[in-house]
Amino acid sequence: MFLKKLKESISKGKLPDISYWRYNYKKLFILNKHSNITFWNLISCDPIIIYTMPFSDDYDSLYNELKGNKAYILKSNPWIPKNVEQAKELREETIDIQMKNSNIELIYLCNEEIESEILKSVGLNAYFCNQNCFIDENIFNIKKDIKKNYDALYDAQIVAYKRHHLAKDVSNLALNGYISSITENQEYTSYVRENFKHFHWFQDPFKEKDQAIFSETEVCNFINKCRVGLCLSSEEGGMYASTQYLLCGLPVVTTNNKGGRNTFFHSDYVYHAKDDSRDVAHGVEELKNRKLNPYYIRSEACKIQKEHRGRFISIINDIFEKNNSKKKFTEDQWNDVFLHKMGEMKKNTFIKKEIQLMKSKY
């Protein structure tokens, strides 16, 4: 029942692709047993401000834990941007949530500016604040001592929308990925297994499903072994991997897309390829031959992160001002609450304890 509901939520775009649980796959089963576990992070205790990314569909229990307390929920959209019709559906869902929880105010953080404008046009409180600003740049960085062994890396789940076929003409290609038993398309899995077996895999995804055995630090090391990063989907969310490449100093070959990754892209170090495997391969060769400065690429990505972190901080301070608070969300407070991707999966019942702990600190 849980897996059926999860599949339905993913297909409707209410939840992100399963790759967002990449390094925490077992937590899906925790969710099945304990439906009060969601992805969140407490940003402020007075007023209560919580950042969420809907990696699960059960935030009702979190709202219940907050009964009697005014709370602001900052909610990222990790999947494809809403169109007007979807925005209207989201507005109805938002109204329903706030009728049941009059103390809750929902604020949507969008990966593309156009999405924030669409949400605002139907009356929702929305801001353009890209999720990739929350990637920890200290985890993903340039490793000078690691030798470049591969021309390109495609770090992607083995799932059809990732369009692996567009990488088939890249020479000296490395791949990292895994197969989810929840979202697997066996025909697509067979295609990738047969057509990419002569390339280098950092792990064998066909040996066992639901295995993503590497830590974020190990993934950083894999990225640093490669010269160019690939982003080949036409639709998805902000695509964390796209900015992780940049933070490690890699230029990127991307296809035309919607979802938010373009926020961090610049023609100085990004090649926009046609939906053609030959053009993708050409883009890899062109970027490789440019001999771009990896520290420039990283610094530009960090600048964009800083800009969007500034937007996030402004949202927090606007909430403070709205509540007649003289406080300011400072750099010290940012450092106290910042986590890689700005959250983690945990029990919603922990929220009261975390609020009390933060109150005692400040």
pLDDT at 235: 92
* Whether residue 359 has pLDDT greater than 80: yes
- 344 or 229, greater pLDDT: 229
351: amino acid identity, one letter: I
Contact status, residue 259 vs residue 131, Cβ threshold 8 Å: no
Q: What is the CATH number of the domain that holds 250?
A: 3.40.50.2000
Which pLDDT band, with edges at 50, 70 and 90, does 322 fall under?
very high
3-state secondary structure (DSSP) of residue 73: strand
One DSSP character per residue, 217-272 reads HHHHHHHHTEEEEEE--SB-SS-HHHHHHHHTT--EEEES-BSSGGGG--TTTEEE
Same domain, 243 and 318: no
The percent of residues in the chain predicted with pLDDT above 70, rounded, is 87
Choice between 177 and 200, residue whose per-residue pLDDT is larger? 200
Query: For the residues 183-188, what does the mean pLDDT come to?
Result: 82
Average pLDDT value over all residues in the chain: 88
Expressed as residue numbers, the domain containing 193 is: 150-301
- In order of 105, 137, 222, 282, the CA distances from 153 in angstroms are 41, 19, 8, 15
- Label the pairing between strands 200-201 and 173-176: parallel
Asked if residue 143 belongs to a domain, the reply is no
Q: What is the DSSP string of 137-196?
A: TTTS---TTS---EEEEEE--SSGGG-GGGGTT-SSEEEE----TTT--HHHHHHHHHHS
Name the helix (H) or strand (E) containing 200: strand 200-201
pLDDT of residue 203: 83
Identify whether residues 155 and 55 lie together within a single domain: no
Ranges 9-18, 62-71, 121-130, 204-213: which has the least confidence: 9-18
Last residue of a domain, one of 249, 284, 301: 301
Contacts of 70 by beta carbon, 8 Å cutoff, 6+ apart: 47, 48, 103, 105, 323
Domain contains 334 = yes
Tokens of 229: 């990063």
pLDDT in tens, 260-293: 999 999 999 999 999 999 999 999 999 999 999 9
Both 83 and 189 in one domain: the answer is no
Q: What residues pair up with 270 in beta bridges, in sequence order?
A: 252
Say how many C-beta atoms besides its own lie within 10 A of residue 85's C-beta. Answer: 10
- Whether 95 is in a domain gets the answer yes
As a whole number of angstroms, the distance between CA 190 and CA 207 comes to 13
Same domain (yes/no): 169, 223: yes
Q: Cα–Cα distance between 279 and 285 in angstroms, integer?
A: 10
Distance CA 104, CA 44 (A): 14
Helix (H, G, I), strand (E, B) or coil at 76: strand
Pair 50, 73: CB distance under 8 Å = yes
For residue 55, the model assigns a pLDDT of 65
> pLDDT band at residue 14, thresholds of 50, 70 and 90?
very low
98 vs 17 pLDDT, higher one: 98
Residue 226 has pLDDT above 70, yes or no: yes
- Do 176 and 190 belong to one domain? yes
pLDDT, one tens digit per residue, over 35-91 is 688 899 999 999 999 999 886 667 889 999 999 999 999 999 877 677 899 999 999
Look at the chain and report how many structural domains it folds into.
Answer: 2
Q: Give CA angle at 138 (233, 360), nearest 5°.
A: 110
Is a pLDDT exceeding 50 seen at residue 24? no
Measured CA to CA in angstroms, residue 25 lies from 90, 158, 179, 199, 249 at distances of 27, 15, 11, 26, 28
- Diameter of the chain measured on Cα atoms: 62
Higher pLDDT, 108 or 362: 108
pLDDT of residue 178: 79
- Residue listed under structure tokens 């969601």: 38
Query: Which of 301, 322, 343 is where one domain is finished?
Result: 301
Q: Are residues 45 and 130 in the same domain?
A: yes
Question: What is the percent of the chain with per-residue pLDDT over 90, rounded to a whole number?
Answer: 73
Asked whether the CA dihedral 9, 13, 129, 85 is positive or negative, the reply is: negative
Q: Which of 257, 277, 301 is the last residue of a domain?
A: 301
Place of tokens 């929880």: 101
pLDDT number for residue 74: 97
Q: Are residues 243 and 186 in the same domain?
A: yes
Cα–Cα distance measured from residue 234 to residue 258, given in angstroms and rounded to the nearest whole number:
6
Tell me the pairing of strands 48-52 and 270-273.
Answer: unpaired
Give the span between the Cα atoms of 27 and 74, in whole angstroms.
22
In the prediction, which pLDDT does 27 show? 45
Q: Which of 77, 108, 129, 125 is nearest to 235 (CA)?
A: 77
The pLDDT of 191-196, averaged and rounded, is 93
Q: Is residue 48 part of a domain?
A: yes
Q: Domain for residue 139, yes or no? A: no
